[in-house]
Amino acid sequence: MNNNHSTFRKIYLYVCVLQEQAKTMERKDSLSLLCVLVCVWTQATYTQGSTQVPEDFTPEPIVLPHFTSCRSREQETFRCWWSTGSLANLSEPGALAVFFHQNNLMPIGWQECPDYTATVENECYFNKSFTHIWTSYCVQLRATSQNITYDEYCFTVENIVHPDPPVGLNWTLLNVSRSGINFDILVRWAPPPSADVQTGWMSLKYEVHYRVRNASHWDKLELESGSQQSIYGLQTDKEYEVRIRCKMSAFDNFGDFSESVFVQVAPIPTKVSVFPMALLLVFGVVGMLFLLVLIIFSQQQRLMVILLPPVPAPKIKGIDPELLKKGKMDQLNSLLSSQHMYNHDTYREDPWVEFIQLDLDDACEKNENSDTQRLLGLTRPGLKGDDDSGRASCYDPDFLPDTEGLLAAHSEMEERHPLVSESSPSTPSPELAETPFFPVQSQPVSQSWINMDFYAQVSDVTPAGAVVLSPGQQNDTPSKNPVDKTKKEEEEAGKEEEHEKKMKLQLLVVDPDRGYSHEVIARQVESSGAPFCSAPEIAYHTLPPEPAEEPHGWHGEYLAPDGEAQMAYFLPEAPPASMLPPVSDYTVVQEVDDQRSLLLNPSARQSPACPPNPIKHLPSMPAVPVGYLTPELLENLSP
């Protein structure tokens, strides 16, 4: 024995040590406890060394016979069970008896159990005849031999009903989710066969439980009074266990659970359906991109216009910007002149240019047929062969004013400056025309220049072809004014320059009443003093009978019978009239020189001793008559 004990003890100690060494986290406590207990036990046995029966440390309590439970399965019968307790003498069969009592209408009294179940120990069975619902029962456990009631239990039958479990539990698959992860099932069952549901004797309510297999927690569904119920949200990768139980409605006692049913649904691979969707999506996107690119490239211009609108170019109404670009001044001028807004300026600026142009155009054409020519009966050799620019040659000696222009100017003198003719565009030379304007405007005799005897009337033409001028009417020369004015403007502009030597003499003869074509006689005065000098004189000579005033007023360039007016036209400096030689009423035009200037009576030509005064004054003023320019003068004048 001792050897055995010692070996046992050694073994156990060895095991303890091993266990102590091999501690894991989870089982540490239990192992150590077990080890301690075993060690203690071996020690105890070893120390005692004998097989003594350990004493009872705790006295066993005496348990009296009592009812354990009473149950009814179908509300038609019921059973009661009891236990005999710990008393030895009562555990013999027949020592105890059950008596029951019903509280019904006819109290009978205590009756003994109608049926002691033979097969089951300590069970009393009450059959249908003894089972009454809606009545309260009391059962007592009595000793047969003694008058001792160990236990009493009162109840009503419907309160002790525990229905049998439902039968026929099965499930069907309702659906699987699109992702294949979840599924729903429909669970069906049948009421327990013992329960009479059809007659309504028992109305049952069912409770379905389910859980993942071998899990610890059951999920419950709501009580269902029908015979089927759905379970939603199960997962395909798990196996489920389903069971059911039932109870009477309006009571609390559930019956036993049915047999479990296992549910599992294999996950359906759904990747096949995903693939075509992805492909479709990709194709759709690619197609749309392609379409977009196509649209952009085909409509590039329009898109550019829409996205980046062009900056509007400067635009003048009615004028093509192309003209502005390429410097087509002629067309531009014509356009601009046709616009009212520009008329004033152009008129203001370059009346003489228009005038010149007009003169040129028409004068050149009319050269052969000009009245002057006819009057003079001269042929100018150089006229036709003049290879100057048509403009210059036309203008130069023989300024034939444009009949239409002057007439127009005459007729519209109120509207604008009379010297300006409308029809031709002007070239820009603003500075020439402007300054003498104002003196003209401020003329007290704003219309008096109309009345100037600046023009001589041709009264007769000599057989020799000379024009005989007569003192003309003083009111008939309205149209000369624009010419005068333009001349003056020219003078103003170019006075600092080389005009000392050059002068243009212009004689404008207008007789609108007689319908004479007015003539502008311009004579280019060379630097030579004599012709220079004489020109004014001659001009003066040709002036109408008022000699007093001065051609000086216009500094020798204009024949102005009315000196005051002329002076006002012209420049500030007015040569004293006394400096000028006396002017005769008229001068006979002898010939027209090759430069188309009318040569007046040579006898009337000046003496060499022409006072230089007129010439002196000349430089102070522009030698160029306003409105008239020869090409040379033009070149000199233009900056």
Partner 1 sequence: MYSVLQGCLGLLFCSIHGLLGSALDCPDRDAGGTRCSISVEKLLDRAIQHAELIYRVSEEARTLFEQMFIPFSFHAQQSHGGHLCTSNIFPIPTSKSEVQQISDKWLLHSVLILIQFWIDPLVELQASLDRYDNAPSDLLNKTKWMSTKLMNLEQGVLVLIRKMLEEGSLELHNNESVTPYLLPTDMVEHVLRDYAMLSCFKKDAHKMETFLKFLKCRQTNRPSCSIL
Binding residues for partner 1, per CB under 8 A? 75-76, 103-105, 128-129, 131-136, 153-156, 158-159, 196, 198-201, 203, 249-250
- The nearest distance, CB 136 to partner 1, in angstroms, is 3
Backbone angles phi, psi at 571, to 5 degrees: -105, 170
In angstroms, rounded to a whole number, what is the distance separating the alpha carbons of residues 399 and 388? 15
- Closer residue to partner 1, CB minimum distance, 70 or 505: 70
Q: Across the strands, what pairs with 228?
A: 188
- Closer residue to partner 1, CB minimum distance, 103 or 273: 103
Residue where the block lists tokens 């100057």: 388
**Cα dihedral: 524, 527, 528, 532 (round 10):** 50
Query: Which H/E stretch holds residue 284?
Result: helix 271-298
- The nearest distance, CB 248 to partner 1, in angstroms, is 10
3-state secondary structure of 183: strand
DSSP 324-371: HHHT-HHHHHHHHHHSHHHHHHHHHH-HHHHHHHHIIIIIHHHTTT-H
- The nearest distance, CB 160 to partner 1, in angstroms, is 10
Q: Do 441 and 563 touch, CB atoms closer than 8 A? A: no
- Closer residue to partner 1, CB minimum distance, 159 or 601: 159
- The nearest distance, CB 158 to partner 1, in angstroms, is 7
- Cα-to-chain-centroid distance, residue 171: 62
- Closer residue to partner 1, CB minimum distance, 128 or 271: 128
In angstroms, rounded to a whole number, what is the distance separating the alpha carbons of residues 628 and 394? 11
For residue 36 the two structure tokens come to 């301690």
- The nearest distance, CB 90 to partner 1, in angstroms, is 23
- Closer residue to partner 1, CB minimum distance, 135 or 273: 135
- The nearest distance, CB 49 to partner 1, in angstroms, is 54
- Closer residue to partner 1, CB minimum distance, 75 or 403: 75
Sheet containing 167-176, strands listed edge to edge, beginning at the edge strand earlier in sequence: 167-176, 182-190, 228-235
The 10 Å Cβ neighbour count of residue 526 is 14
Identity of residue 401: P
DSSP 123-178: EEEE-GGG--TTSEEEEEEEESSS--EEEEEEEEGGGGB-PPPPEEEEEEEEEE-T
Those residues whose C-beta lies under 8 Å from the C-beta of residue 275, and which sit 6 or more positions away, are none
- The nearest distance, CB 132 to partner 1, in angstroms, is 4
- Closer residue to partner 1, CB minimum distance, 113 or 539: 113
- The nearest distance, CB 129 to partner 1, in angstroms, is 7
For residue 177 the two structure tokens come to 């989710």
- Closer residue to partner 1, CB minimum distance, 7 or 135: 135
CA distances to 51, 271, 276 from 279, rounded to whole Å, are 85, 13, 5
- Closer residue to partner 1, CB minimum distance, 197 or 468: 197
CA distances to 413, 469, 484, 595 from 450, rounded to whole Å, are 10, 18, 10, 29
- Closer residue to partner 1, CB minimum distance, 76 or 549: 76
Identity of residue 119: T
Interstrand relation of 204-212 and 219-220 (parallel, antiparallel or unpaired) = antiparallel
Identity of residue 557: E
In angstroms, rounded to a whole number, what is the distance separating the alpha carbons of residues 62 and 79? 26
The sign of the dihedral angle between the CA atoms of 361, 365, 370, 372 is: positive
User: Dmax of the chain from CA atoms?
Assistant: 198
For residue 413 the two structure tokens come to 């003198």
- The nearest distance, CB 195 to partner 1, in angstroms, is 11
Q: What is the CA radius of gyration of the chain?
A: 73
Q: Across the strands, what pairs with 487?
A: none
Interstrand relation of 516-525 and 78-83 (parallel, antiparallel or unpaired) = unpaired
- The nearest distance, CB 162 to partner 1, in angstroms, is 15
- The nearest distance, CB 117 to partner 1, in angstroms, is 21
- The nearest distance, CB 84 to partner 1, in angstroms, is 22
- Closer residue to partner 1, CB minimum distance, 131 or 451: 131
- Closer residue to partner 1, CB minimum distance, 107 or 444: 107
In angstroms, rounded to a whole number, what is the distance separating the alpha carbons of residues 245 and 229? 13
- The nearest distance, CB 61 to partner 1, in angstroms, is 23
- Closer residue to partner 1, CB minimum distance, 67 or 454: 67
- The nearest distance, CB 73 to partner 1, in angstroms, is 13
- Closer residue to partner 1, CB minimum distance, 249 or 528: 249
- The nearest distance, CB 213 to partner 1, in angstroms, is 36
In angstroms, rounded to a whole number, what is the distance separating the alpha carbons of residues 187 and 169? 7
- Closer residue to partner 1, CB minimum distance, 141 or 589: 141
